[in-house]
């Protein structure tokens, strides 16, 4: 990169970001999904790219434009998201901001399911792969820094600390989505960053500001020679 070492400190670093929802098909015309705008994940991809990183953004369907300089890999299902993430390795840092559907329909119908006048159909679900946990356990391919999110409504730090341990990631950005914070559906985020050393409480700010702060924090981590 032309300006490496000055305003583009992440030049030469590879970043993988997941964003948006996943769509899990029921049949060719119906699906199960989470609510997710993709705003936070896309903003993180944009912020890392602005600092010079080579960014692969693996995202489910969103209305967000692809940030400048970012390589978008569009996917629909969690299984596709995992395959695209594996294909994007090696990476120095992975940030999992996607709202992955926890389950998919065990056997999606090949044809549109029709009303028959009888009992409604019953969906049998199976658990989806956990992309954050898989990347965290990727052995020699593991990104040196793996970051996840946790949206919690109560005991935010305790739940997120447990989630960090269970997933094996390095940092968890715990997002307080209790109704009184006004976070849900809005543009503001109240983040608590949990790492091996403890908790860092971030002031309530916009998703863009959270992305910028996270990108700077990632740059500082690499700058400290921890990876
Ligand atoms: N995640 C993932 N793959 C999944 C599920 C979650 O990569 N199949 C990631 C999300 O992108 C997020 C983190 O894991 O970074 C936490 O997601 P969350 O839904 O809070 O965690 P779960 O383990 O699914 O627990 P819960 O039962 O609370 O939904
Ligand atoms: Ca989940």
pLDDT in tens, 178-203: 777 666 666 788 999 999 999 999 99
Give the span between the Cα atoms of 130 and 82, in whole angstroms. 8
Band (pLDDT 50/70/90 cuts) for residue 177 is confident
C-alpha distance from residue 92 to each of 16, 61, 179, 226 (Å): 8, 25, 35, 12
What is the arithmetic mean of pLDDT over 84-97? 98
Is 112 annotated for ligand binding?
Answer: yes
Q: Looking at ligand 1, which residue's alpha carbon is closest to its atom 16?
A: 150
SS3 of residue 105 by DSSP: strand
If we measure between CA atoms, which residue out of 95, 60, 94, 97 comes closest to residue 75?
60
What is the arithmetic mean of pLDDT over 142-149? 98
For the record, the structure tokens of 163 come out as: 């989630």
Q: Which residues surround ligand 2, an ion (CB under 5 A)?
A: 102
For residue 188, what pLDDT is reported? 82
pLDDT tens digits along 37-62? 999 999 999 999 999 999 999 999 99
For residue 82, what pLDDT is reported? 98
117 pLDDT higher than 70: yes
For residue 187, what pLDDT is reported? 77
- Cβ pair 147, 93 in contact under 8 A: yes
Q: What is the ipTM of this complex?
A: 0.99
Please identify which residue in the block is written with the tokens 């989505």: 177
Known catalytic residue at 128: no
For residue 1, what pLDDT is reported? 47
SS3 of residue 144 by DSSP: coil
Q: Which ligand is nearest to the CA of 163?
A: 1
């Amino acid at each position: 990169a032309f300006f490496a070492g000055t305003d583009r400190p992440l030049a030469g670093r590879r970043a993988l970001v997941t964003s948006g929802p996943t769509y899990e098909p029921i049949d060719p015309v119906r699906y199960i999904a989470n609510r997710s705008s993709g705003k936070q994940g896309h903003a993180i991809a944009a912020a890392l790219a602005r600092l010079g990183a080579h960014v692969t953004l693996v995202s489910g369907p969103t209305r967000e434009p692809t940030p400048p300089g970012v390589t978008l890999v569009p996917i629909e299902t969690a299984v596709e998201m995992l395959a695209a993430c594996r294909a994007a390795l090696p990476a120095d840092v992975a940030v999992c901001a996607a709202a992955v559907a926890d389950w998919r329909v065990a056997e999606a119908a090949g044809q549109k399911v029709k009303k028959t006048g009888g009992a409604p159909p019953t969906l049998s679900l199976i658990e989806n792969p956990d992309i954050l946990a898989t990347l965290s356990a990727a052995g020699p391919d593991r990104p040196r820094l793996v970051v996840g999110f946790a949206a919690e409504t109560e005991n935010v730090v305790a739940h997120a600390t447990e989630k960090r341990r269970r997933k094996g990631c390095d940092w968890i950005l715990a997002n307080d989505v209790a109704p009184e914070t006004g976070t849900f559906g809005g543009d503001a985020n109240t983040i608590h960053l949990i790492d091996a050393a403890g908790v860092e409480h971030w002031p309530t700010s916009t998703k863009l500001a959270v992305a910028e702060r996270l990108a700077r924090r990632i740059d500082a981590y690499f700058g400290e020679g921890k990876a």
